[in-house]
Amino acid sequence: MNERKTDKELAFLHDLYVAADWGERFAELVDKHVELPKEGRALYVEAGTGGHALAIQERGGQKLTVVCADENEECLELARAKAAALHESTQFQREDPQALSFNDDEFDLVLGNSSFTLPGSVIRTLAELVRVTKPGGTTAWWLPTTSSFGEFFSIYWEALLNAGADEHGTDVEHLITDLPSVSDVEHWAEDAGLEAVKSWTAIEEFDFESGEQFLNSPLIADFLLPAWLQPIPEAARENLTRELSRIIDEERHTAEFALTLKATLVVGKKSRVQ
Protein backbone atom coordinates (compact mmCIF):
# COMPACT_ATOMS: atom_id res chain seq x y z
CA MET A 1 0.00 0.00 0.00
CA ASN A 2 1.13 3.53 -0.76
CA GLU A 3 1.88 5.70 2.25
CA ARG A 4 -0.34 8.73 2.76
CA LYS A 5 1.10 11.57 0.72
CA THR A 6 1.78 15.07 2.05
CA ASP A 7 -0.40 17.94 0.87
CA LYS A 8 2.44 19.13 -1.36
CA GLU A 9 2.82 15.69 -2.95
CA LEU A 10 -0.95 15.43 -3.46
CA ALA A 11 -0.98 18.87 -5.08
CA PHE A 12 1.68 17.89 -7.62
CA LEU A 13 -0.02 14.55 -8.32
CA HIS A 14 -3.33 16.32 -8.78
CA ASP A 15 -1.79 18.79 -11.22
CA LEU A 16 0.12 16.19 -13.25
CA TYR A 17 -2.26 13.23 -13.33
CA VAL A 18 -5.73 14.09 -12.06
CA ALA A 19 -6.61 17.56 -13.37
CA ALA A 20 -5.46 16.66 -16.86
CA ASP A 21 -7.62 13.54 -17.11
CA TRP A 22 -10.30 13.11 -14.44
CA GLY A 23 -10.81 16.85 -14.10
CA GLU A 24 -11.07 17.38 -17.86
CA ARG A 25 -14.04 14.99 -18.10
CA PHE A 26 -16.05 17.24 -15.78
CA ALA A 27 -14.59 20.48 -17.18
CA GLU A 28 -15.94 19.64 -20.63
CA LEU A 29 -19.46 19.39 -19.22
CA VAL A 30 -19.08 22.70 -17.39
CA ASP A 31 -17.68 24.53 -20.41
CA LYS A 32 -20.47 23.22 -22.64
CA HIS A 33 -23.44 23.89 -20.38
CA VAL A 34 -22.61 26.71 -17.93
CA GLU A 35 -23.04 30.25 -19.19
CA LEU A 36 -20.63 32.73 -17.63
CA PRO A 37 -21.95 36.10 -16.43
CA LYS A 38 -20.78 39.03 -18.52
CA GLU A 39 -19.54 40.73 -15.37
CA GLY A 40 -19.56 40.32 -11.61
CA ARG A 41 -18.04 37.74 -9.29
CA ALA A 42 -17.64 33.99 -9.66
CA LEU A 43 -16.52 31.47 -7.04
CA TYR A 44 -14.89 28.14 -7.89
CA VAL A 45 -14.92 25.73 -4.91
CA GLU A 46 -12.40 22.88 -4.82
CA ALA A 47 -10.52 24.44 -7.72
CA GLY A 48 -7.46 22.20 -7.24
CA THR A 49 -4.38 23.59 -8.94
CA GLY A 50 -6.46 26.10 -10.85
CA GLY A 51 -6.20 25.05 -14.49
CA HIS A 52 -9.91 25.03 -15.22
CA ALA A 53 -10.62 28.10 -13.10
CA LEU A 54 -7.97 30.09 -14.98
CA ALA A 55 -9.47 28.97 -18.30
CA ILE A 56 -12.83 30.28 -17.05
CA GLN A 57 -11.17 33.55 -16.03
CA GLU A 58 -9.74 33.91 -19.54
CA ARG A 59 -13.15 33.24 -21.12
CA GLY A 60 -14.92 35.59 -18.73
CA GLY A 61 -12.62 38.52 -19.36
CA GLN A 62 -11.64 41.44 -17.16
CA LYS A 63 -15.20 42.25 -16.01
CA LEU A 64 -15.53 38.87 -14.29
CA THR A 65 -13.69 38.41 -11.00
CA VAL A 66 -12.95 34.75 -10.26
CA VAL A 67 -12.23 33.60 -6.71
CA CYS A 68 -10.77 30.11 -6.26
CA ALA A 69 -11.11 28.12 -3.06
CA ASP A 70 -9.56 24.79 -2.09
CA GLU A 71 -8.83 22.87 1.11
CA ASN A 72 -5.24 22.16 0.10
CA GLU A 73 -3.03 25.26 0.44
CA GLU A 74 -0.34 23.57 -1.66
CA CYS A 75 -2.80 23.29 -4.57
CA LEU A 76 -3.51 26.99 -4.22
CA GLU A 77 0.21 27.80 -4.31
CA LEU A 78 0.52 26.01 -7.65
CA ALA A 79 -2.57 27.83 -8.89
CA ARG A 80 -1.16 31.21 -7.83
CA ALA A 81 2.04 30.49 -9.74
CA LYS A 82 0.04 29.68 -12.88
CA ALA A 83 -2.02 32.85 -12.51
CA ALA A 84 1.11 34.95 -12.10
CA ALA A 85 2.65 33.43 -15.23
CA LEU A 86 -0.53 34.25 -17.18
CA HIS A 87 -0.86 37.72 -15.58
CA GLU A 88 -4.38 36.82 -14.45
CA SER A 89 -6.04 38.58 -11.52
CA THR A 90 -7.74 35.44 -10.19
CA GLN A 91 -7.93 35.31 -6.38
CA PHE A 92 -7.12 32.23 -4.28
CA GLN A 93 -7.92 31.32 -0.69
CA ARG A 94 -8.12 28.25 1.49
CA GLU A 95 -11.66 27.21 2.39
CA ASP A 96 -13.61 24.34 3.87
CA PRO A 97 -16.31 23.60 1.24
CA GLN A 98 -18.76 22.66 4.00
CA ALA A 99 -18.21 25.93 5.90
CA LEU A 100 -17.33 28.69 3.44
CA SER A 101 -16.24 31.98 4.98
CA PHE A 102 -18.04 34.12 2.38
CA ASN A 103 -21.19 36.14 3.07
CA ASP A 104 -24.62 35.05 1.94
CA ASP A 105 -25.65 36.07 -1.60
CA GLU A 106 -22.15 37.16 -2.63
CA PHE A 107 -21.47 35.60 -6.07
CA ASP A 108 -23.18 35.78 -9.47
CA LEU A 109 -21.88 32.31 -10.34
CA VAL A 110 -20.76 29.54 -8.01
CA LEU A 111 -19.00 26.44 -9.36
CA GLY A 112 -18.60 23.45 -7.06
CA ASN A 113 -16.29 20.55 -7.78
CA SER A 114 -17.66 17.65 -5.72
CA SER A 115 -15.96 14.95 -7.78
CA PHE A 116 -13.99 13.69 -4.76
CA THR A 117 -16.48 14.72 -2.07
CA LEU A 118 -17.64 11.83 0.11
CA PRO A 119 -21.34 11.11 -0.49
CA GLY A 120 -22.20 11.89 3.11
CA SER A 121 -20.83 15.43 2.73
CA VAL A 122 -22.39 16.32 -0.62
CA ILE A 123 -25.66 17.84 0.63
CA ARG A 124 -23.91 20.07 3.18
CA THR A 125 -21.46 21.25 0.52
CA LEU A 126 -24.31 22.00 -1.88
CA ALA A 127 -26.08 24.05 0.80
CA GLU A 128 -22.96 26.20 1.14
CA LEU A 129 -22.64 26.67 -2.63
CA VAL A 130 -26.23 27.88 -2.84
CA ARG A 131 -25.92 30.06 0.28
CA VAL A 132 -23.16 32.20 -1.22
CA THR A 133 -24.88 32.50 -4.61
CA LYS A 134 -26.81 35.71 -5.26
CA PRO A 135 -30.58 35.40 -5.73
CA GLY A 136 -31.05 34.94 -9.48
CA GLY A 137 -27.44 33.79 -9.82
CA THR A 138 -26.29 30.40 -11.06
CA THR A 139 -25.02 27.48 -9.00
CA ALA A 140 -23.34 24.63 -10.87
CA TRP A 141 -21.82 21.55 -9.27
CA TRP A 142 -20.60 18.18 -10.46
CA LEU A 143 -19.97 14.71 -9.04
CA PRO A 144 -20.04 10.96 -9.82
CA THR A 145 -23.51 9.42 -9.76
CA THR A 146 -25.04 5.93 -9.59
CA SER A 147 -23.32 3.21 -11.65
CA SER A 148 -19.92 4.86 -11.40
CA PHE A 149 -17.04 2.48 -10.56
CA GLY A 150 -19.22 -0.62 -10.96
CA GLU A 151 -16.36 -2.69 -12.37
CA PHE A 152 -14.32 -2.09 -9.23
CA PHE A 153 -17.13 -2.70 -6.77
CA SER A 154 -18.04 -6.00 -8.45
CA ILE A 155 -14.57 -7.44 -7.79
CA TYR A 156 -14.32 -5.82 -4.35
CA TRP A 157 -16.78 -8.40 -2.95
CA GLU A 158 -14.70 -11.33 -4.21
CA ALA A 159 -11.43 -9.80 -3.03
CA LEU A 160 -12.83 -9.31 0.48
CA LEU A 161 -13.89 -12.96 0.61
CA ASN A 162 -10.51 -14.20 -0.61
CA ALA A 163 -8.65 -11.93 1.80
CA GLY A 164 -10.67 -13.19 4.78
CA ALA A 165 -12.41 -9.84 5.29
CA ASP A 166 -15.88 -10.77 4.04
CA GLU A 167 -17.47 -9.30 7.18
CA HIS A 168 -16.94 -5.93 5.47
CA GLY A 169 -19.21 -6.84 2.58
CA THR A 170 -21.86 -4.42 3.84
CA ASP A 171 -19.30 -1.63 3.55
CA VAL A 172 -18.99 -2.35 -0.16
CA GLU A 173 -22.76 -2.30 -0.42
CA HIS A 174 -22.78 1.17 1.14
CA LEU A 175 -20.16 2.39 -1.35
CA ILE A 176 -22.51 1.37 -4.14
CA THR A 177 -25.78 2.59 -2.65
CA ASP A 178 -24.36 5.86 -1.31
CA LEU A 179 -23.66 7.15 -4.82
CA PRO A 180 -26.66 9.37 -5.63
CA SER A 181 -28.78 8.99 -8.74
CA VAL A 182 -29.26 11.86 -11.18
CA SER A 183 -32.80 12.35 -9.88
CA ASP A 184 -31.39 12.46 -6.31
CA VAL A 185 -28.99 15.29 -7.08
CA GLU A 186 -31.65 17.22 -8.98
CA HIS A 187 -33.99 16.97 -5.98
CA TRP A 188 -31.19 18.02 -3.63
CA ALA A 189 -30.56 21.08 -5.78
CA GLU A 190 -34.25 22.03 -5.63
CA ASP A 191 -34.39 21.45 -1.88
CA ALA A 192 -31.32 23.70 -1.46
CA GLY A 193 -33.17 26.59 -3.14
CA LEU A 194 -32.39 26.26 -6.84
CA GLU A 195 -34.93 26.70 -9.62
CA ALA A 196 -34.96 25.67 -13.29
CA VAL A 197 -32.65 22.79 -12.37
CA LYS A 198 -31.07 20.93 -15.27
CA SER A 199 -28.48 18.15 -15.39
CA TRP A 200 -26.22 16.53 -17.94
CA THR A 201 -24.36 13.24 -17.64
CA ALA A 202 -21.39 11.85 -19.56
CA ILE A 203 -20.25 8.23 -19.37
CA GLU A 204 -16.45 8.20 -19.15
CA GLU A 205 -13.92 5.35 -19.05
CA PHE A 206 -10.45 5.11 -17.54
CA ASP A 207 -8.41 2.22 -18.93
CA PHE A 208 -5.63 0.33 -17.15
CA GLU A 209 -3.29 -2.28 -18.60
CA SER A 210 -3.05 -4.38 -15.42
CA GLY A 211 -4.18 -4.65 -11.84
CA GLU A 212 -0.85 -3.24 -10.71
CA GLN A 213 -1.17 -0.20 -12.95
CA PHE A 214 -4.72 0.37 -11.70
CA LEU A 215 -3.76 0.23 -8.01
CA ASN A 216 -0.63 2.35 -8.46
CA SER A 217 -2.09 5.09 -10.64
CA PRO A 218 -2.29 8.39 -8.72
CA LEU A 219 -5.99 8.82 -9.50
CA ILE A 220 -6.81 5.49 -7.85
CA ALA A 221 -4.10 5.16 -5.20
CA ASP A 222 -4.22 8.69 -3.82
CA PHE A 223 -7.66 10.09 -4.62
CA LEU A 224 -10.24 7.29 -4.93
CA LEU A 225 -8.92 4.18 -3.18
CA PRO A 226 -8.41 5.75 0.28
CA ALA A 227 -12.17 6.37 0.55
CA TRP A 228 -13.01 2.91 -0.82
CA LEU A 229 -10.68 1.19 1.67
CA GLN A 230 -11.48 3.42 4.63
CA PRO A 231 -13.74 0.85 6.39
CA ILE A 232 -11.12 -1.91 6.06
CA PRO A 233 -8.62 -2.37 8.95
CA GLU A 234 -5.04 -1.45 8.03
CA ALA A 235 -3.86 -4.99 8.76
CA ALA A 236 -6.18 -6.43 6.10
CA ARG A 237 -5.48 -3.96 3.32
CA GLU A 238 -2.29 -5.49 1.95
CA ASN A 239 -3.92 -8.88 1.34
CA LEU A 240 -7.00 -7.16 -0.03
CA THR A 241 -5.12 -5.07 -2.59
CA ARG A 242 -3.13 -8.14 -3.63
CA GLU A 243 -6.39 -9.95 -4.30
CA LEU A 244 -7.81 -6.97 -6.16
CA SER A 245 -4.79 -6.90 -8.47
CA ARG A 246 -4.97 -10.66 -9.06
CA ILE A 247 -8.68 -10.64 -9.86
CA ILE A 248 -8.34 -7.71 -12.24
CA ASP A 249 -5.59 -9.51 -14.16
CA GLU A 250 -7.53 -12.75 -14.16
CA GLU A 251 -10.74 -11.20 -15.46
CA ARG A 252 -9.33 -8.82 -18.02
CA HIS A 253 -7.37 -11.57 -19.88
CA THR A 254 -5.50 -9.60 -22.56
CA ALA A 255 -7.86 -6.62 -22.55
CA GLU A 256 -7.56 -3.45 -20.51
CA PHE A 257 -9.43 -3.04 -17.24
CA ALA A 258 -11.94 -0.20 -17.69
CA LEU A 259 -13.27 1.87 -14.80
CA THR A 260 -16.49 3.68 -15.64
CA LEU A 261 -17.40 7.13 -14.34
CA LYS A 262 -20.90 8.55 -14.65
CA ALA A 263 -19.99 12.25 -14.52
CA THR A 264 -22.98 14.48 -13.75
CA LEU A 265 -23.29 18.26 -13.85
CA VAL A 266 -26.26 19.97 -12.15
CA VAL A 267 -27.11 23.63 -12.80
CA GLY A 268 -29.82 25.86 -11.35
CA LYS A 269 -30.76 29.45 -10.59
CA LYS A 270 -31.00 30.53 -6.97
CA SER A 271 -34.54 31.48 -6.09
CA ARG A 272 -35.15 35.22 -5.64
CA VAL A 273 -37.73 34.39 -2.97
CA GLN A 274 -35.98 33.40 0.27
Question: What is the tens place of the pLDDT at every residue in 126-174?
Answer: 999 999 999 999 999 999 999 999 999 999 988 988 888 778 788 888 8
Our count of domains for the chain comes to 1
Q: What is the pLDDT of residue 89?
A: 86
Q: What is the pLDDT of residue 274?
A: 63
Average pLDDT of every residue of the chain? 94
Question: What is the tens place of the pLDDT at every residue in 173-231?
Answer: 888 899 999 999 999 999 999 999 999 999 999 999 999 999 999 999 999 999 999 88
Q: What is the pLDDT of residue 153?
A: 93
Kindly state whether residue 198 falls inside one of the protein's structural domains: yes
Q: Write the single-letter amino acid at 101.
A: S
Is the distance from CB of 148 to CB of 261 less than 8 angstroms?
yes
Q: What is the pLDDT of residue 157?
A: 87
pTM, entire model: 0.94
Q: What is the pLDDT of residue 2?
A: 56
Residues in the chain: 274
Closest of 123, 102, 101, 104 to residue 114, by C-alpha: 123
Mean pLDDT along residues 250-257: 85
d(CA 259, CA 209): 11
- CATH for 186: 3.40.50.150
Question: What is the tens place of the pLDDT at every residue in 230-251?
Answer: 888 888 899 999 999 999 999 8
Question: What is the tens place of the pLDDT at every residue in 73-101?
Answer: 999 999 999 999 998 889 999 999 999 99
Domain that holds residue 211: 7-270
d(CA 210, CA 256): 7
Q: What is the percentage of the chain residues whose pLDDT exceeds 70?
A: 99
Q: What is the pLDDT of residue 60?
A: 94
3-state secondary structure at position 89: coil
For 191-217, give one letter per residue: b (16+ CB within 10 A) or e: ebbbeebebbbeebebebeebeebbeb
Q: What is the pLDDT of residue 69?
A: 98
Kindly state whether residue 1 falls inside one of the protein's structural domains: no
Kindly state whether residue 2 falls inside one of the protein's structural domains: no
